[in-house]
Amino acid sequence: MSTKVSDHVLRRLREWGVEQVFGYPGDGINGLLAAWGRAENQPRFIQSRHEEMSALQAVGYAKFSGRLGVCVATSGPGAIHLLNGLYDAKLDHVPVVAIVGQTHRSAMGGSYQQEVDLHALFKDVASEFLETVTVPEQLPNVLDRAIRTAYARRCPTAVIIPGDVQELDYSPPTHEFKMVPSSLDRSSWTAIPSEESLQRAAEILNSGDKVAILVGQGAAGARAEVERVAEMLGAGVAKALLGKDVLSDELPYVTGSIGLLGTRPSYELMRDCDTLLTIGSSFPYTQFLPEFDKARGVQIDIDPHMVGMRYPYEVNLVGDAKATLQRLILLLDAERGERDWYETVCANVKRWRGVMERRALQSADPINPEYVAHTLDALLPSDAIVTSDSGSAANWYARHLTMRPGMRGSLSGTLATMGCGVPYAIGAKFAHPDRPVIALVGDGAMQMNGLAEMITAAKYRDLWEDPRLVVAVWNNHDLNQVTWEMRAMGGAPSFLPSQELPDVRYAEFARSLGLTGIRVEKPEDVEAGWRAGLEADGPAVIEFLTDPAVPPVPPHATWDQMEATAASILRGDADSASMVRQGFKAKVQEFLPGREKK
């Protein structure tokens, strides 16, 4: 039997080390599906409930494996459905390749069924590399370049293969004019900044008395070096959300997350520092960075297109974080006499941990959402992978979970798309089938995407060496993050027709699939609920009935935000009494002396 173009696509993916492809079938990729049958499902085809979920699963897989994520969809509607997940990959700088079908070449341009101008559709999201294969000889170069570009630029790329081309006999490029051969090898490389720029950066850092470090996901491979620099400079370290698992939160100088979802010690770190070192982060909210005239700045980033945008840095070091820090360490002062700043940072962190514990232990109706995350923190397995959806659950993920060495965590950091938590978790299970995965999801996101993807979890549960995939749902019948944003930023009361969610029995749905389903209605049952989910012999949904009146707004909220929230109450917010009670109880914990969490 002759080798078809579709056969060669799968063979080439295998040669690149691709072990699974996340997708959904359709007649625009019938040729590929037939090839999968001939290839005995290698690489494994992972069927989601929706192409958007396939793309998000590929993103989750790539984030947690460090390898290429691949997704596949049919032409027209399938290709359109991929977009949200591909934009998530683009904005969070994740390597993903989309392989997409198209109508037959003979029908293109004829307004044929499911014909969409895919180049126009993907022009922005796959701007780094987008190509249509029209003859077999194109294939190896196009597919190889899509993969290399995705890795090198940390971005999504797309390859379009018309249905009839998939069925053609494969023939490689020949040694002739206008033929483009290709090869598989992708050797590693390291970018490092110039010695002169390193010297200038060291001068700034050595002269600082109150140094703050901000790390993002780009610092993930430089954990030891970041710790060494922080200790040499007596610095505090704040983390962008995508960098939450870069350093252990058990280190006394790690202040936690930064920004609207951040912590008070991170806010104080940026407010009071005189020097800022940013490593592998493009955190966009300048209002949470130091005042422009108060701190000198140094940035390290591997992407020259991403430097110098967020803060008026004096030195922008373009290079790999690990290699750059290793060279920078040689130029830093080994002994710094003044440690008052370091001790202040550590004291702020210690105090904040006590505040968060007291906030979590406040009563609510029926369950304090902070208590749900606070209770999980002590129960997290040492090798856990945690995904968070967008929404108020991300606040609790950012503030209450202590990342310890070996743990991983991520969310949709830049696009902040709803509905990513469960598909990310499924992607993580295929990246690490021997590790437990926990997804933290609001009821809005669970209704949007999570319920259907529990079917996917049930379908593939037997492939995972460690069967634990725990999905925790904060069930408060409210699109809570947007509700609070309306109150705090616009002074508008909650608009119930848009914000109120129907009541869904999430645990019952899980049980209908043969999975573990747990419904927790009282605070005293929260710990037992978590334990039951973490001890289940397969995927589990834990449904926590939580109070929507507990505010997720940051503890360092401005007076303008507080006045706006008060204005929403005066304008007749439906939950005004509970808002006042819970908001006061949460805020007052910052001013109470109390037992601090060790």
Per run of 10 residues, the mean pLDDT along the chain (length 598 residues) is: 94 98 97 98 98 98 98 97 98 98 89 90 98 97 97 97 97 93 85 97 96 98 97 97 97 96 95 97 94 96 92 97 98 81 97 94 96 98 98 95 97 97 98 98 96 98 97 93 70 77 96 98 98 98 96 61 52 55 52 47
Q: Which of 63, 52, 118, 50 is nearest to 85 (CA)?
A: 52
- φ, ψ for residue 101 (rounded to 5)? -80, 170
Helices (H) and strands (E) in the chain, counts: 24, 18
- In angstroms, the CA 355 to CA 586 distance is 9
Give the Cα-Cα-Cα angle 543, 407, 341 (nearest 5 degrees): 110
Q: Is the pTM of this model over 0.85?
A: yes
| The pLDDT of residue 548 | 93
Instruction: Specify the 3-state DSSP secondary structure of 191.
Output: coil
Strand pairing category for 516-520 and 540-545: parallel
Q: 3-class DSSP state for residue 144?
A: helix
Q: Assign 569 to helix, strand or coil.
A: helix
Residue 573 is given by DSSP the state -
Burial label for 388, CB within 10 Å (0-12, 13-18, 19+), is: buried
First to last CA, the chain: 68
Q: Tokens representing 173?
A: 């490029």
